[in-house]
């Protein structure tokens, strides 16, 4: 009964086709453009058969997420293997992480819940917090006569740490110890302030 094998192989293939089609659609039309019927169209089937491979749409996303983490882990490993000293390894790994996010943006969005806000056209209100922060930063740095770009950079440094920390906490729903949060937050803020004084 070698035909059993062939059928199993075909099943595995269409399973992969579904995942591939889904990711292709997302790359072309974004996450909002993804629908079961569109996936079915690509693999030249009708929508209901997808449910014989995945229990629902979310299951497809979860599998893609899993594949994403696997791919990331693999790239991190090869980055690590290029160096001997752990300091160099760590730097290479984070650089790889950075690159991964931008060569697989859609995947990264799925894995870490980064949504493109509808309000991309920076509603003018968005400027107010920005100006408040940069104003104070400029005040602290006034002795060294910093350029606009330097101030912007310092602002983004602050923003990155704190927004990043907030994001993990929201996504992981307070899986992280409160003390760790407080420690990182305090370290980051005082550290960056010191570095700009």
Partner DNA sequence: TACATTTGCCTAACAGTGTTAAACGATTTA
Partner DNA sequence: TAAATCGTTTAACACTGTTAGGCAAATGTA
Segment 2-31, which members bind DNA (CB under 7 A)? 3, 7, 11
Residue 35 touches which of DNA, a copy of itself, none (Cβ within 5-8 Å per kind): DNA
Which contiguous run of DSSP H or E holds residue 154?
A: helix 148-171
User: How is residue 9 written in tokens?
Assistant: 């192989």
Q: How many Cα atoms are found within 13 Å in the side-chain-facing hemisphere of 87?
A: 0
Token pair 């089609």 is at which residue? 21
Q: How far is the CB of 109 from DNA (least distance, A)?
A: 17
Which 100-159 positions form the footprint of DNA (CB under 7 A)? none
Q: Token match 């770009």: residue? A: 149
CB of 46 to DNA, least distance (A): 4
Out of a copy of itself, DNA, none, what residue 9 binds, judged by CB under 5 to 8 A for its kind, is: none
Residue from 42, 57, 71, 80 in contact with DNA (CB under 7 A) = 57
Residue 29 interacting partner from DNA, a copy of itself, none (CB closer than 5 to 8 Å by kind)? none
Does position 34 interact with DNA (CB under 7 A)? The reply is yes
* Distance of alpha carbon 20 from alpha carbon 161, whole angstroms: 34
Out of 18, 21, 36, 151, the only residue in the binding site for DNA (CB under 7 A) is: 36
CA dihedral 117, 176, 112, 67 (to 10 degrees): -160
* Among candidate residues 19, 49, 51, the one with its CA nearest the CA of residue 34: 19
Task: Measure the CA–CA gap between 188 and 197, rounded to whole angstroms.
Answer: 14
The option from DNA, a copy of itself, none interacting with 98 (CB < 5 to 8 A, set by class) reads a copy of itself
Residues near DNA (CB under 7 A) are 1, 3, 7, 11, 34-38, 44-49, 51-52, 55-58
């Amino acid at each position: 009964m070698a035909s059993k094998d062939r059928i199993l192989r075909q099943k595995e293939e269409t399973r992969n086709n579904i995942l591939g089609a889904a990711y292709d659609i997302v790359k072309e039309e974004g996450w909002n453009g993804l629908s079961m019927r569109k996936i079915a169209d690509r693999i030249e089937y009708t929508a209901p058969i997808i449910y014989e491979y995945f229990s629902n749409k979310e299951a497809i996303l979860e599998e893609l997420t899993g594949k994403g983490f696997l791919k990331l882990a693999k790239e991190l490993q090869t980055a690590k293997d290029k160096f001997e000293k752990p300091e160099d390894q760590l730097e290479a790994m984070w650089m790889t992480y950075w690159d991964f996010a931008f060569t697989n943006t859609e995947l990264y969005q799925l894995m870490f819940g980064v949504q493109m806000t509808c309000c991309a056209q920076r509603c003018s209100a968005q400027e107010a917090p920005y100006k408040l922060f940069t104003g104070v930063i400029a005040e602290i740095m006034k002795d060294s006569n910093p350029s606009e770009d330097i101030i912007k950079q310092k602002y983004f440094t602050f923003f990155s740490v704190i927004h990043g920390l907030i994001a993990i906490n929201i996504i992981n729903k307070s899986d992280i110890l409160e003390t760790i949060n407080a420690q990182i937050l305090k370290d980051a803020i005082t550290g960056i302030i010191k570095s700009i004084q």
